[in-house]
Each structure stands twice: as C-alpha cells, then as structure tokens.
Amino acid sequence: MKRYAGVVACIFVYFVAIAGGMIPAKESRADAMDDIQSRRTIRVAVPKDTPPFGAENQYKSLEGFDISIAKMISLELGVKLDMVPLASAERIPSLLNHHVDLVISSLGKNPERLKQIDFSQAYAPFYLGVFGAPNLDVKNAAGLAGKTIAVLKDSIEDVELTKIAPPSAVIKRFSTSKDAEKSYLQGESKLLAAGNVLISAFTKEQAESTQLKIVLKDSPCFIGVNKNETALLNKINTMLSSIKKNGMLNVNAQRWFKAPLPDSVLHSGLE
C-alpha cells in the first residue's frame, strides 16, 4: 500500500507541476507554414462532387475551379499537393483536427464559422441572379416589369426575386431546376432566376447568349485556414491578390463559370 501511495503522490506532483507551468504538458507545435515546408506537402480539402468547383472527370481525376486554385497554391509554395476530397460536412472538422492545412471547397463565410476558423479574401463567385439575353434591357428590378422570369419554386432565388419584382413581372415557378432552365432556353421565359453554378453547366453557345442582369444574393467563397495561422493566411492572400491583378483568376472563372468574376470577388482584398 505504501508503494502505491508513493506512485499516486508522484502522479499528483507531476500534474500540479504541469498546472503551475513547471513542466510543459505538450511540446508546442510549429505553425502550419512550418509544417508544410517541413513535409514539403500541403494537404488541401477539396470538393469531390460539386461541379464546377470540383468533381471527377471521365478519367477519374479531380478537376474544377477549386482544384485549379489548390494547384496554384502548391506551386506558389513550391511543395507537393495532397488533395483530400471531402463532403461538405467534413471540411471544417478536418481542418480543426489538422488533417488538412486548407479548405478550398466552395466554402462560404458566416458568423458561426468565423468563431472556428479564419478566412482568406474572397476567391470564387457564388451568387443567385437573374439572367437573360445580352440585348435584353434589364439593369435593375424596374427592368423586370412585363417580363416573364422562370425560377425554381420555393427556392432562395424565388424568395429573393419575389421581394424585388414589380407587380407586372410574370414569375413562372417550376418544380425542378431543369424545367425552369428549359423554359428559358426554349424562349418561353425571357429571363431565368438561378445560381451562377447552374449557368456554368450551359453549353458554350447557351452561355454566350446568356448574361447576368441582376444579382439577387451574393455569397462568394473563401479559403478556410485554422485560427492564428498568420504566415499561411498572409501567403494565401498575397497569392490571391496577385492572380486577381494579373488576370489569372478571371481566366479561371471564365473557364469554369463561363463568366467573369463579380466585383465582390475581384475587389476583395484589393482595397
């Protein structure tokens, strides 16, 4: 019994010493940038089934807007890229657990997420808008008067459109996005209220004959970084500012979204 009492006493003294700061409980980890440079690899959470941000192509390789950004960052840092395809719900937990160094996966910013992680400047467009032919004169909500607008029934775009549409606008509500899209492409509706992701799936000819008229709701995407990783976050923001200024980010947007970057993305971080 005396021997066990001695062991218990030693354990008690050890934990008291930890609590008092006499013994470090755990060696502090290097910051994320040091970790990345040490292993010569950056681990990035990317989308696996969310085109045009990221999805498998016919060769079972990941491609998309976010995939391109992840590749640019690895080249900027001079390290190997380890892409980690994750479902939406897995993105932030994997970052918090240090299973990945960054989240580049159509990630939106909101107050709850800001309590958990930090965000880069905006890098990708994600918005709901009213789209129509380039020669159609619609510059604001008043321009919707007397025009037919196809929209998915009870969707966020339906709610936002209803808020601003003048009484004479004819809102044609459909039970599926495909039906709303079909009504617009066949000319039954002059305008289409939808997300930019839906427009990005249009053919080249369809995209060229479709133009954003009004933004209904703007919610750009950001790169997620763990809290207090200043060196990594600064490096990411510097690179994003650079590819905005030299036009590379716009080229990427034209390729994957078939549209130029909106001001909410293009001017983010450049003020």
Work out the average pLDDT over 121-145.
96
Q: Residue 9 pLDDT more than 60?
A: no
Which pTM does this prediction carry? 0.80
- The rounded distance, in Å, linking the Cα atoms of 36 and 46 is 17
- Quote the longest CA-to-CA distance of the chain: 93
* φ, ψ of residue 132 in degrees (nearest 5): -165, -175
- The rounded distance, in Å, linking the Cα atoms of 262 and 158 is 21
Higher pLDDT, 29 or 133: 133
Q: Give the strand pairing for 80-86 and 148-152.
A: unpaired
Q: Report how far apart, in Å, the C-alpha atoms of 227 and of each of 8, 47, 116, 169 are.
A: 38, 22, 7, 47
In this structure, how many other beta carbons lie within 10 angstroms of the beta carbon of residue 188? 11
Q: Residue 28 pLDDT more than 70?
A: no
Of the listed ranges 3-7, 149-153, 184-188, 210-214, the one predicted with least confidence: 3-7
Work out the average pLDDT over 54-67.
95
**Percent with pLDDT over 90 in the chain:** 80
One-letter amino acid identity for 138?
V
Alpha helices in 117-172 (DSSP H): 156-164
- The rounded distance, in Å, linking the Cα atoms of 248 and 246 is 6
Of the options 3.40.50.1970, 3.40.190.10, 3.10.20.340, 1.20.1440.230, the CATH number for the domain spanning 127-218: 3.40.190.10
Question: Considering the chain, what is the average pLDDT of its residues?
Answer: 89
Torsion on CA atoms 222, 96, 69, 62, rounded to nearest 10? -120
Work out the average pLDDT over 190-199.
95
Length of the chain: 271
Q: Do 32-126+220-267 and 127-218 have matching folds?
A: yes
Work out the average pLDDT over 210-236.
95
Domain ranges across the chain? 32-126+220-267, 127-218
User: Is the bond into 51 cis (omega within 30 degrees of 0)?
Assistant: no
In this structure, how many other beta carbons lie within 10 angstroms of the beta carbon of residue 17? 13
Alpha helices in the chain (DSSP H): 2-19, 32-39, 65-77, 91-96, 111-116, 156-164, 177-185, 196-200, 204-208, 230-245, 248-257, 263-266
What pLDDT score was predicted for residue 270? 65
Of the options 3.90.1170.50, 3.40.190.10, 3.30.1130.10, 3.90.1300.10, the CATH number for the domain spanning 32-126+220-267: 3.40.190.10
